[in-house]
Amino acid sequence: MKKKVVAVILAAALAMSMTACGEKGQTSEGSTSAAASESKETEETKESESGAAFGAREERIADNEVIVAIGSEPESGFDSTTGGHGSITKLVFSTMFARDKELGWTGDLATDYEVSEDRLTWTVTLRDDAYFTDGEKVTADDVAYTYRTAKESGSDIDLTIIDSIEVLNETQVAFHLTRIYSPFIERLAYLGIVPEHAHDENFKDQPVGSGPYKLVQWDKGQQMIFQANQEYYGEAPKMQQITIALLETDTAVAALENGTIDVAEINGNLASKEIAGASVIDIESIECYGVCFPMVPAEGKKAEDGAEIGNDVTSDLAIRQAFNRAVDRELMVEGIMNGYGSVSTTGLEQMPWLNEDTVLDASEYNDIEGAKQILADAGWEDTDGDGIVEKDGLKAEFPLLYTTGKYRQEMALEFVRVGQEIGVQVDLEQVTWDTILPKIHTSAVMYGFGSGDPSELYNLYYGGMAGGPVAWDNSGVYANDDCDAAIDKALEAEDEADAIQYWQEAQKYASAIGDSPYCWFANANHVYYAADGFSFGQPVVQPHGGRIFDNVVEWTWE
Q: Is the pLDDT of residue 371 over 90?
A: yes
The per-residue pLDDT for range 152-205, each reduced to its tens digit, is 886 677 899 999 999 999 999 999 999 999 989 989 998 999 999 999 999 999
The pLDDT mean for the chain works out to: 88
Q: Is the pLDDT of residue 34 over 60?
A: no
Bridge-based pairing of strands 97-99 and 172-177 is unpaired
Tell me the pLDDT band of 450, cut-offs 50, 70 and 90: confident
Q: Which three-class secondary structure state does DSSP give residue 445?
A: strand
Q: Is the pLDDT of residue 212 over 50?
A: yes
Q: Is the pLDDT of residue 318 over 50?
A: yes
In this prediction, residue 26 carries a pLDDT of 34
| DSSP assignment letter at 286 | -
Query: Are 159 and 171 contacting, i.e. CB atoms less than 8 angstroms apart?
Result: no
Distance CA 228, CA 105 (A): 25
In this prediction, residue 316 carries a pLDDT of 98
Phi, psi dihedral angles at 135 (to 5 degrees):
95, -10
> Pseudo-torsion of CA 450, 453, 457, 459, nearest 10°?
-80
Tell me the pLDDT band of 27, cut-offs 50, 70 and 90: very low
Q: How far is CA 109 from the centre of its chain?
A: 24
In this prediction, residue 35 carries a pLDDT of 43
State the average pLDDT over residues 244-268.
Answer: 95
CA atoms lying within 13 Å on the CB side of residue 9: 30
Alpha helix stretches (DSSP H) within 423-470: 455-461
In this prediction, residue 155 carries a pLDDT of 65
Distance CA 319, CA 324 (A): 9
State the average pLDDT over residues 57-68.
Answer: 96
State the average pLDDT over residues 82-88.
Answer: 67
| DSSP assignment letter at 334 | I
Rounded to two decimals, the pTM is 0.83
Query: Are 290 and 447 contacting, i.e. CB atoms less than 8 angstroms apart?
Result: yes
Calculate the alpha carbon distances from 358 to 256, 363, 383, 399, 507 in Å. 43, 14, 35, 27, 7
Summarize the chain as % helix, strand, coil (round to 5): 30, 20, 45
Q: Is the pLDDT of residue 395 over 80?
A: yes
Query: Are 463 and 481 contacting, i.e. CB atoms less than 8 angstroms apart?
Result: yes
**Residue type at 495?**
D
Alpha helix stretches (DSSP H) within 232-356: 249-257, 317-326, 329-331
Distance CA 253, CA 489 (A): 49
Identify the burial level of 283 via C-beta atoms within 10 angstroms of its C-beta, where 0-12 means exposed, 13-18 middle and 19 or more buried. middle
Radius of gyration of the chain (CA): 26
Bridge-based pairing of strands 444-449 and 397-402 is parallel
In this prediction, residue 158 carries a pLDDT of 81
Tell me the pLDDT band of 76, cut-offs 50, 70 and 90: confident
Distance CA 25, CA 326 (A): 49
Q: What percent of the chain has pLDDT over 90?
A: 71
What does the chain come to in residues?
558
Bridge-based pairing of strands 172-177 and 263-266 is unpaired
**Residue type at 476?**
G
Distance CA 257, CA 552 (A): 24
Please name every residue paired with 531 in a beta bridge, in sequence order, or none if there are none: 278
Query: Are 456 and 423 contacting, i.e. CB atoms less than 8 angstroms apart?
Result: no
In this prediction, residue 30 carries a pLDDT of 40
Q: Which three-class secondary structure state does DSSP give residue 291?
A: strand
Closest of 400, 253, 269, 405 to residue 341, by C-alpha: 269
The per-residue pLDDT for range 125-151, each reduced to its tens digit, is 999 999 999 999 999 999 999 999 999
**236 backbone φψ class: left, alpha, beta (φ>0; ψ -120 to 50):** beta
State the average pLDDT over residues 277-284.
Answer: 94
Q: How many CB atoms lie within 10 A of CB 479?
A: 18
Q: Is the pLDDT of residue 436 over 90?
A: no
3-state secondary structure 53-120: HHHHHHHHHHHCEEEEECCCCCCCCCCCCCCCCCHHHHHCCCCCEEECCCCCEEECCEEEEEECCCCC
Query: Are 175 and 122 contacting, i.e. CB atoms less than 8 angstroms apart?
Result: yes
Tell me the pLDDT band of 300, cut-offs 50, 70 and 90: very high
Tell me the pLDDT band of 465, cut-offs 50, 70 and 90: confident
Tell me the pLDDT band of 52, cut-offs 50, 70 and 90: low
